[in-house]
Amino acid sequence: MDFTELYKQTSYNVKFSPDVKYLVTAVQQKLVVREAATLQILSIFSYPNIINKVEWTRDSELILAACSSHNLVAGLYFRKDGRYFILARRIEGKDIISIYYCEDAWTLVKQFFIYYDLQMEDLLLFGIIIWKRRKLIYTSDGQCLQKYNENTVLGVKCVTWAPSSQFLAVGSYDQKIRLLDYYSWKPTIEFTHFNDISDDDILHPEVGVGVCKFNSTGSLIASCNDNMPECLWIWDISKRKLIAVIVQLMTIKQFCRNPIEPELLAICCGNDNIYF
C-alpha cells in the first residue's frame, strides 16, 4: 500500500464526497477541495471563523461548512436521500432542531425546541436525538415518538443505525449492545462484552461500549468496549453471537467498514500502520 504526503487539516474534518470523486479538508478558516484520484487542489474557500464541521450533499454537488465561534451549532446532518437537512443549534440558552427541505431553496419546514441539554455528539441522524441516560426518537414534525431509558444508571453511550434502518444499535455503559427494532423500539437482540478480569470495588463510570458500526449489508456489527481498548468485537446479527475478537497490541483509535466488501474493515491504532 502506498501513502501520499501529509496534508494539513483541523478537527478531523476530512471527508470524501459520496461519489468518491472529491476530498474536502478544513484547515482553520479555509475549506480545501481536492480531486480524490490525484489530490490536486480544485478550489479553496475562506471563511471568517474556524470551520467546525463539514458535510457533503448526497449528490456531491454542494458542501456545507459550519463556522461557529460560540458553539451555537451543535450538529448538522443530511437525511439519507438528501432531500432534508437537520440542524441542531443553541439560541439564547435554548436547544433548537430545525429541518430544511433541500430541493426547494432550503426552505425551513419545521422547527422545535428540545427541553434537555443537547450535546455536540447527541445528534445522530434524521429524527434521532441521544442523551447520556435516555434516547428520544422524534418524527419530522417535532413529535416525540418514543422514549427509551436504559435499565442501568449510566445509560446510553453510543448509537448507530443499521443500513436497512431495521435496527438501531445502542451501546451502553453496562458493556452491552442492544438492537432495537423500529416497530416497537424495544430491544430484540442483546450482545454482552464479557470481561473475566474485573474489580467490582472500583467504579469506572465512563467505561462502556464507546463505538459500534454495522457492515454495508447489516449482517455484522463491530464494536469497541472501553475496558478492553485493544480489542475489536465482531458480532453476527442473524446468528446472534460473537464470531471473532481481533486483539491489537495498542489501543484501537479508529476503525471503519468497507462500503463495498462487507467483511473487510480497516483498523488504526495511532502508529504508522493500518490493519485490514
User: Hey, where are the domains in the chain?
Assistant: 8-69, 73-149, 151-276
Q: Which three cell numbers stand for residue 36?
A: 480524490
Strand partners of residue 265: 257
Contact between 36 and 22 (Cβ < 8 Å): yes
- Distances in Å between the Cα of 127 and the Cα atoms of 64, 80, 229, 251, 270 are 20, 12, 31, 33, 34
pLDDT of residue 122: 46
Q: How far apart are the first and last CA of the chain?
A: 11
pLDDT of residue 233: 94
Q: Which three cell numbers stand for residue 225?
A: 468496549
Contact between 255 and 269 (Cβ < 8 Å): no
**Cα–Cα dist 270/272, whole Å:** 7
Q: Which three cell numbers stand for residue 229?
A: 481498548
**Cα–Cα dist 158/198, whole Å:** 22
pLDDT of residue 104: 75
Q: Which CATH architecture has domain 151-276?
A: 7 Propeller (2.130)
| DSSP codes joined into one string, 148-215 | EE-SSSS-EEEEEE-TTSSEEEEEETTSEEEEEETTT-SEEEEEE---SS--TTS--TT-SEEEEEE-
pLDDT values of the chain reduced to their tens digit, one per residue, 276 residues: 566 777 787 777 888 888 888 999 988 888 899 998 888 999 898 888 888 888 888 788 888 887 766 555 656 677 767 777 777 777 777 777 788 888 777 788 877 776 555 544 445 444 455 555 556 666 666 666 666 665 555 677 888 888 887 888 888 888 889 998 877 778 889 999 887 655 555 555 567 888 999 998 999 999 999 889 999 999 999 999 999 999 999 999 988 888 778 888 889 888 878 888
pLDDT of residue 256: 86
Q: Is the dihedral of CA 154, 267, 82, 62 positive or negative?
A: positive
Which pTM does this prediction carry?
Answer: 0.66
Q: Which of 169, 158, 274, 161 minimizes the C-alpha distance to 226?
A: 158
**Cα–Cα dist 48/65, whole Å:** 12
Cell 430545525 sits on residue = 98
pLDDT of residue 116: 56
pLDDT of residue 238: 92
pLDDT of residue 214: 92
220: left (phi over 0), alpha (psi -120 to 50) or beta: beta
pLDDT of residue 121: 44
